[in-house]
Amino acid sequence: MSIDAATSSGGLTTQLRIQGMRLTDKTQWAERHAGGKSALPRLDVHAPMFRERHAWFGRLLPRNPNWTVLEIGAFPGTNLRYFHDHFGFQPWGVEYVEGSAQEAQRLLDDAGVPGRILARDVFELMPDEAPGAAGWDVTVSFGFIEHFADPTDAIVKHVELTKPGGWILLSVPNHAGLNGTVMRWLDRDKWAQHNLMPLRTMEASIRRLPDAGLVDARHLGRFGFWNAGIYSKAKRDYPSLYPAIRAPLWTAEHLGQWLVPNNPWSSPELVAALRKLG
């Protein structure tokens, strides 16, 4: 069965299955996105948490202003700005929470980034809504598929929304390793909003799809705590102590970048790159 057939057959049954797989809801995302930002940040591609990913994407993707990129779960728009700045892509985003979509659109507009944010449930979005009606050239998400008990339907949707021959880039926290262990101890409610997908599970979910060719999947980040929830919890619950909490962890992270190779335990991120066959 093709991906299009798999996602279109069953109708209500498919939607109910997806709904049952969600580990989060709109209220949780609205609370997480609350507070607003005065300006849209830029990704520091030289920072430990981005530099490996940036180097890898630079080897895979062309710089092409005619290409479009769709980010699933686009708030606040930082990743869309990255793809526009470094690859010239035309940015599109889809955001589940209407208020978050509006805020992301405002931030892009204020930054002069010519992006468009759709306030939609991505499972209702169709490829013919893309420019040219054939899907987007690149479909990405950074922290989306791990919020489903089984990531298969979410990965299928990425592929469905991508043009034949286009790229799908998936990034999730490595919660099967150190970062997940810390989050479970530190913030069990937030930890429960994630599946514990190891790299082999991500790869297996992709390899089951008939229309997707896996290019590579790997652990990235070497050593760090940015996907453990420490910094967000410290800022929220102990703002006066945040600098004291951040300083030793920052030192450990930067030492770890030199001393620790990528591995299943300490690397904070899992990333997969695949192409839609066509």
Residue 187 domain flag: no
| Residue 162 placed within a domain | yes
Cα dihedral sign, 143-144-147-148:
negative
The answer to the question of residue 257 being in a domain is no
Lookup result for tokens 């599970």: 201
154 DSSP 8-state letter: H
**Bridge partner residues of 70 (DSSP):** 92, 139
Please tell me the predicted confidence (pLDDT) of residue 77: 96
Mean pLDDT of the 182-198 span: 92
Quote the percentage of the chain above a pLDDT of 90. Answer: 76
What's the CATH code of the domain at 33? 3.40.50.150
Whether the predicted pLDDT of 97 surpasses 80: yes
The predicted-structure confidence for 120-138, as pLDDT tens digits, reads as follows 999 999 999 999 889 999 9
> 61 with 87: CB under 8 angstroms?
yes
Instruction: Give pLDDT tens digits for 227-278.
Output: 999 998 998 899 999 999 999 999 999 999 999 999 999 999 999 999 999 8
Write down the pLDDT at residue 3.
39
> Looking up tokens 């978050």, which residue turns up?
100
Residue 42 lies in a domain: yes
Q: What is the pLDDT of residue 24?
A: 82
CA distance 93 to 102: 11
Evaluate whether residue 158 is within a structural domain.
yes
Query: For residue 234, what are its two tokens?
Result: 């410290």
Please check whether residue 181 lies inside any domain of the structure: no
Please check whether residue 252 lies inside any domain of the structure: no
d(C-alpha 46, C-alpha 69), whole Å: 22
Q: Provide the number of structural domains found in the chain.
A: 1
- The pLDDT value recorded for residue 43 is 92
| Of the candidates 74, 118, 247, 256, the residue with the CA atom closest to the CA atom of residue 177 | 256
Is the Cβ–Cβ distance between 138 and 273 less than 8 Å? no
- Once rounded to an integer, what is the mean pLDDT over residues 57-78? 97
Residue range(s) defining the domain that contains residue 109: 3-174+194-224+268-276
Predicted confidence at residue 13, as pLDDT, reads 58
Tell me the pLDDT tens digit for each residue of 141-172.
999 999 999 899 999 999 999 999 999 999 99
Closest CA to 23 of 166, 192, 266: 192
Decide: 77 and 40 in contact? Cβ < 8 Å. yes
Residue 25, in any domain of the structure: yes
